[in-house]
Amino acid sequence: MIEFQQVNYTVDGPQGALSILNGVTLEVKQGESVAIIGPSGAGKSSLLSLAAGLERSSAGEVKVAGKSLTGADESTLAELRAEYIGFVFQSFLLIPELTAIENLTVPAQLCGHPVSPETAQSMLTKVGLDKRGHHYPQQMSGGEQQRLAIARAFMTNPTILLADEPTGNLDRANGEHISELLFRMNKEQGTTLLLVTHDEGLAKQCQRVYRLIDGKLEVA
């Protein structure tokens, strides 16, 4: 479902070219769960961005659902994302002008997966935000915003969920609640999970764990 073949990723840093990924090869099959761990700045978020087609590899090939992202134009990448991918960003990327319910319904509509406010409300209940539907993101705590971002990623029943520190801002109880939700989706809907996490408990629940170090993946 997700394939990286000898992927390099280099960006322009203040002191010239900065190599972030250097020959990353990874295959995640449908329904698998894989965690990526590694030190801060190792390139974990960059790896997820490449898998989502939000960034482009400098060399090698990235494929999603058998389709190559390398050389694909922006509209093809947008279609692939809308069809297959849910993304939980480290910074949430909620829309400040929209209420919690609207943060679920509007992006789903824009991706061509319209959902009713009732469906959105039941997703809010699943993530423990049932009383927050009419609140705006700035009226919610960091952990609540994170749960809303996770609910948004689930709205379209994505084939692939890419999540960057999905339990990062949550206390233990809420973190466990969210990981339970992630793995329930993984089992019930066959969702392919690729997670970046510092949460050892979450990583251990995944079928495979890799460490990203010096631009390369090694089995953890």
Ligand X SMILES: Nc1ncnc2c1ncn2[C@@H]1O[C@H](COP(=O)(O)OP(=O)(O)OP(=O)(O)O)[C@@H](O)[C@H]1O
Binding site for ligand X (CB under 6 A): 11, 13, 18, 20, 38, 40-46
> Are the C-beta atoms of residues 161 and 194 closer than 8 Å to each other?
yes
Q: How far is the CB of 46 from ligand X (least distance, A)?
A: 3
Q: How far is the CB of 90 from ligand X (least distance, A)?
A: 6
Comparing CB distances to ligand X, the nearer of 46 and 156 is 46
Reduced to 3 states, what is the DSSP secondary structure of residue 136? coil
> Are the C-beta atoms of residues 50 and 4 closer than 8 Å to each other?
yes
Nearest to 68 by CA among 76, 160, 157, 8: 76
Q: How far is the CB of 62 from ligand X (least distance, A)?
A: 15
Comparing CB distances to ligand X, the nearer of 40 and 173 is 40
CA atoms within 13 A on the CB side of 122: 5
Nearest to 5 by CA among 25, 20, 19: 25
**What's the alpha-carbon Rg for the chain, to the nearest Å?**
17
Comparing CB distances to ligand X, the nearer of 38 and 158 is 38
Distance CA 156, CA 171 (A): 26
Comparing CB distances to ligand X, the nearer of 69 and 124 is 69
Q: How far is the CB of 134 from ligand X (least distance, A)?
A: 32
141, exposed or middle or buried, with CB in 10 Å at 0-12, 13-18, 19+?
exposed
Q: How far is the CB of 12 from ligand X (least distance, A)?
A: 6
Comparing CB distances to ligand X, the nearer of 43 and 86 is 43
